[in-house]
Amino acid sequence: MAAATLVLVMLVVTVGVAVAMAEGGKLWQGYYEQSCPRAEQIVKHYVERHVPHAPSVAATLIRTHFHDCFVRGCDASVLLNATTGGGEAEKDATPNLTLRGFAFLDRVKALLEQECPGVVSCADILALASRDAVGVIGGPFWRVPTGRRDGRVSIKQEALDQIPAPTMNFTDLLTSFRAKGLDLADLVWLSGAHTIGISHCNSFTERLYNFTGRGGPGDADPSLDAEYAANLRRTKCTTPTDNTTIVEMDPGSFLTFDTSYYRGLLKRRGLFQSDAALITDAAARADVESVAKGPSEVFFQVFARSMVRMGMIEVKTGGEGEIRRHCAVVNS
């Protein structure tokens, strides 16, 4: 058996184990077969109809799913609006201000409420829509065990405290992931979601203009390829205060789910400090090198495995939480 084939077989087994773990945690494949048989089909059909016309939605759904799971678990708390009493919600925190796709998810939820009122959670809709959107743009497919329930609490400060920052070094990133039950491999593979999507300049401007605090174009992060940094300053983030210009996280390939993100890391062209951090650790760098040189199928399999694991973080099941009628507000 060829080495690459052997790796793929092992990874398929690993994904299967992850789903079995989900079942033990009261999530399982086909949770809605009896209560809402067409639930997954409705989500998939809507995604397949609309994402081809707006492929960037795939990146924002993955990011929203990730940011949701890292705060209070995968309970759709990131979709909640601030309370009428003035308490700010997760979506009001700086890391979430550039999230989009809320209206997209609301439309999917409305279709499911019409089909099966009060049955399908917003948390499951987000997990399913993220998976299906990645598939539409040519990325991997993974099995999504369902049965999540929606949280009733959303606090801005918790998002600020728990969502990994783009300025983090490797130690802080790994600590953040381990706090959620994820490991080094999950950190490397989930970072691969940066193969799609965009960022605003203010998320990484310090790497271009003020890395040590001295200021100016000469104060760039030395871990960033000098030619790439100069090009960003010249054509994209032309001032240190630019907070509106958008930049592709995987230049020339930001709508294609592929391994070019990892190849960019090895050229020191990761956009964020957190990207660059992945090649500062020997084990993480070895994983990056292996997937950068291998067939895309290997990346697809390991990414799928880690998405299944991430989707099980601190899930609410059974009598916990609720099934929201509208994703932006708790039930009255």
Residues serving a catalytic function are 67
Under 8 Å between Cβ of 66 and 162: no
Q: 73 a known binding residue? A: yes
Q: Per the structure block, which two tokens stand in for 165?
A: 């920052």
Q: Per the structure block, which two tokens stand in for 202?
A: 């203010």
The DSSP output letter for 115 is H
Give the Cα separation of 251 and 195 in Å (integer): 9
Q: 164 a known binding residue? A: yes
Q: 15 a known binding residue? A: no
Q: 50 a known binding residue? A: no
Q: How far does Cα 181 stand from its chain's mean position?
A: 16
Q: 77 a known binding residue? A: yes
Give the Cα separation of 41 and 120 in Å (integer): 12
Is the C-alpha dihedral spanning 84, 89, 92, 98 positive or negative?
negative
Helices (H) and strands (E) in the chain, counts: 14, 2
Nearest to 177 by CA among 277, 254, 92: 277
Q: 71 a known binding residue? A: yes
Q: How far does Cα 242 stand from its chain's mean position?
A: 25
- Per-residue CA distances from 257 to 114, 127, 186, 232 (Å): 33, 18, 17, 23
As beta bridge partners, residue 326 has 329
Q: 90 a known binding residue? A: yes
Nearest to 103 by CA among 132, 81, 134: 81
DSSP H or E run through 4? helix 3-24
Q: 258 a known binding residue? A: yes
Under 8 Å between Cβ of 57 and 104: yes
CA angle 255, 257, 258 (to 5 degrees): 120
Which amino acid, 62? I
In degrees and rounded to multiples of 5, residue 126 shows phi and psi of -65, -45
Place of tokens 């707006």: 54
Residues that constitute the known binding site for substrate:
164
Residues that constitute the known binding site:
68, 71, 73, 75, 77, 90, 164, 194-195, 250, 258
Residues that constitute the known binding site for Ca(2+):
68, 71, 73, 75, 77, 90, 195, 250, 258
Residues that constitute the known binding site for heme b:
194
